[in-house]
Structure 1
C-alpha cells in the first residue's frame, strides 16, 4: 500500500509545459512540473501562424531514462551534498533534507526531490524539488509549502492515546469493516496547510465498505487535539513507462480486472485510441496491475506515461495552487494515447 490521496476531498501529493522548467519537478511527490507535456489527447485549435523559435520546447529539457545504477549514483551524490544544499536554500538549523528521488535532463540538469525533517521529526507537506546545473549548483527550487518550518513547539500537549481514538473513529466511518490501528501515532510536523504545527499521524487498517483494503491516515494536532486532515492511501499498480522509468500508478480494481482509473484524483481515466482519430477509445484494463514494459512497442507503456503524467499534474495544481483538478471542480480529465 503506497501512494496517497484523500477519500474525503482531495488531498496532497509539474506546471504546464514551459521550455526550460518542464522537467524541474517530474518526480513522484509534490510539485512535479513536467506532466502536462505527456498528458495526451487534449484538443487544441490550430495556431494561426507557426510558433516562434523562442516558443518551441527545448529538447535539452527532456528527461532521460536512468539505469538503476545511474539513479543510485545520483541519489548518493545528492545525499552526500544535502547539508550544503540545505544551507544554499536557507533552511533553519533544525531542518534537514532527506533525498527521495532524482531525475536528469538531456542537457545534464538534475532535479532532486527531498523531504524534510525538523528537529528530527518528519515534515508532512515539506517536500521540495531542487534543480541543479553544472554552472549553478542550485538553479531553482519548487516547494510544496512557502511557509517557514518554524512550529511554535515540538512538544505534544495531547496524549497519543487521544489521536489513536480519533483515528479509530474516523476509520469506522462509511461502514468500514474491522478497522484497527496499523501504525501507532507518530509525532510529525504538519505543514501541508497554514502554519506548521506539531501533530500526530496515525494509520488505520481494515477494509472499506466495498472490501478495498483500508489505509487511512489521520493527522491530529498534538497541542489542541483537533483533527487536521485525513486521507485514504491507495494500493498502487506499477507502470513501466517509456520516459519516466518504473513508477507507481493509482488504478482501480473491478473484480479480477484492473483499469487505469485514478479514483484518488477525480477519476481520471486513460484510454487507448488504438490508432483512431476520433472518439474516446478503450479504457486500459487487464488481469494484473502491471502496465507496459518500457518499450514504445507495448501499447500499455504509453498509457502508463500518460496516466502518471496526469497524476503529477493533478498533484501540482493541488499542492502549488490549492486547486482540485485543472478546472478546480474536483473532476479529473482523461488521457488518450495512440492517436
Structure 2
C-alpha cells in the first residue's frame, strides 16, 4: 500500500512541476513569442499612432485594398533616354500649347518675390476681372472666411488674408486652367478629376512642408503641377481606344509604364518638357519630371533641397491616392526608405496622415468644386 501511495504522490508532484513550467512546450512556441513580438511592435509605434490605433488601422486596411507598384527596377523614360529626333518631336508638339501671358501670369511671377509690395499686387489683380472674381470668391468661402464673418470686398485685403503663397497658387492655377481648357483633348470630366487630384496633392504637400519647417511655396506649386503632363498625353496616343483615362489596368503593370506603351512617353516626362517650353523655374521642372523617381539613386545629382521637395510631392501623391483623391482608379507607388528618411518621414507613409490633414484636403477640394471649372 505504502509503495503505491508514494508512487502516486511522486506522479502528482511531477505533474505539478510539468504544469508550472508551461506543460507541453510546442503550444508555447507557437503562441507566446508572437504575442511578445506584437506587444513590442505596438510599444515601438509613435505615441500619436498608439493613441489613435483604430484610425491608423483603417488607413492600413485602405492600403491593402489598393494595387501597389515598385518603380525601383523599372526603366522609366526621361529626356536623357530620348534620342534627338524624339526630343525635337516632343518639343515641337508641346510648343503648340502656349502659356497665357495675362495678368494672372504676371502676378504669379511677381509673387515669387517675398518682399513685393502687396499694394502693387492688388493694383495688378484689380485690372483683371477674372482674377479679381476668383480671389474674392475664394477669400469669402467657408474655407478662408475671416473670423469676423464680414464679407471681404477689397482685393488688397483678400491678398493679405490669403497670403502670397496661396494667392500665387490660385493665380497659377487660373493660368494653367486656361491653357488646359483650350488645348487638352481630354473631356471636361477628365480634366476636372486631374485638377481636383492636383489640388489635393498641393494642399497635402504644403502641410508636410510646414512640418519640416520648410517654406511651402515651392511644394505648393510643384504639387499643383505634378500631373500637368496627363492633360496632353493623348496628343501622343499610338492608337484609338476610346477615353484615355477610362481604361482597364493591366495586372502588375505600373500605370507609368502603361502610358509609355500607349504613347511612347509618360506624363512626368511630358510635364517636364512643358515646364521647359513654358520657361518655368528649374525647380518646378525637376519636381514635375522626377515625382515618380522610384529609386533614390535617380535623385543623387540633385540638391538636398530638391530631393526633399520631390519626395514631399511623391508622399503627398501617395497620401491622396490612399484617401481616394485620385484622377483615376487609385493605386500606390512605393517610396524608397532612404528618401523618406532624408525628409524625416517615417517608413510607414500612413503615419503622416492625420484627421486634420484629411480635413484640409477635403475643404480645398470642396472649394475647387464650387469655384473652378465654371
With the length of structure 2 as denominator, give the TM-score of the two structures.
Answer: 0.22
Bigger radius of gyration among the two: 2
Question: Which protein is richer in helix relative to its size?
Answer: 2
Normalising to structure 1: TM-score of the pair?
0.24
